[in-house]
Amino acid sequence: MYDDTCRFLAEHFSADFASWLLGKSVTLTELQPSELSLDPIRADALIFLESDDEILHLEFQTLPKKVIPFRVLDYRVRGYRRDPTKPMRQFVIYLKQTNSPLVYQTSFTMERTRHEFEVIRLWEQPASLFLQYPGLIPFAALGQSANVEETLRQASQRAEQVANPQTQANLIAASGILAGLQLEEDVIYRILRRDIMQESTVYQSILAEGEVKKQREIALNFLRDGLSVEAVARGTGLSVEEVQQLQQQLN
């Protein structure tokens, strides 16, 4: 849910992410994982955004994983294969504070190969930074602040200043979801209106995505048990093509 929320924000507020990470307001469009020969099923926690001059690769992580540095290198090589002339800025963004040394790892090294990338630990970023850009408001509660509840309240007030009602609802819902990494649910609903959150596009899309993930997990189990692609498709509601992708993933 947290990763999906971050993806939603990056897709819909790419200019704000560019201002934050690239230091300039540029027009970015989403680059589909399939264009980099990536299986979309594998790409839940990342997003690629592209301008005329460069590609911005964002990978959101709640907790660190040892495989991430190699994955970053893998994505960079795929981007180079697609367009050797276009540079790629890569950021791994950690959402939840941890003492793991992995969140300080900014390179992958293998024999004579070394690849570097950038890491952002949200808890080290001032919460006030995120309140400056509408699309970053939901990150405020994960930033550095003396009082998380008060910061969430400020984020809510800032979101309410957005003119478009649907955008406002999405920002409030995203703020509530991400605040779940820091605060108890009853505290969040005391600050944010539950009805606005549940009726928002981001909340509904995450619920729908959750159902699709369940279908995929069931399909993978069926495939492991030896069921045919056609039988798995009938039993899960997935298309034959989607099940074939899952089968390739297993192989």
Phi, psi of 107 (to 5 degrees): -155, 160
| Contact between 127 and 151 (Cβ < 8 Å) | yes
| Contact between 130 and 136 (Cβ < 8 Å) | yes
As given in the structure block, the two tokens for residue 6 are: 């971050």
Rounded CA gap, 92 and 94, in Å? 6
Rounded CA gap, 200 and 165, in Å? 10
**Predicted pLDDT of residue 17:** 97
Q: What is the number of other CB atoms lying within 10 angstroms of the CB of residue 137? A: 27
At CA 129, angle to CA 136 and CA 135, rounded to 5? 15
Q: What is the number of other CB atoms lying within 10 angstroms of the CB of residue 27? A: 11
Please, what are the averages of pLDDT over each run of 10 residues along the chain (251 residues)?
Answer: 89 95 90 69 72 94 94 94 95 96 97 97 98 97 97 96 93 94 93 83 72 84 92 90 85 73
Name the pairing type of β-strands 55-61 and 88-94. parallel
Q: What is the number of other CB atoms lying within 10 angstroms of the CB of residue 243? A: 26
**Predicted pLDDT of residue 246:** 87
As given in the structure block, the two tokens for residue 250 are: 């297993």
H or E element at residue 31: strand 29-31
Residue 36 DSSP label: G
| Contact between 1 and 176 (Cβ < 8 Å) | no
**Predicted pLDDT of residue 214:** 82
Positions of E strands within 46-174: 46-50, 55-61, 88-94, 107-110, 113-116, 118-121
**Predicted pLDDT of residue 41:** 46
Cα–Cα separations (whole angstroms), residue 221 to 214, 227, 246: 11, 9, 10
**Predicted pLDDT of residue 210:** 67
**Predicted pLDDT of residue 39:** 57
As given in the structure block, the two tokens for residue 231 are: 């039988």
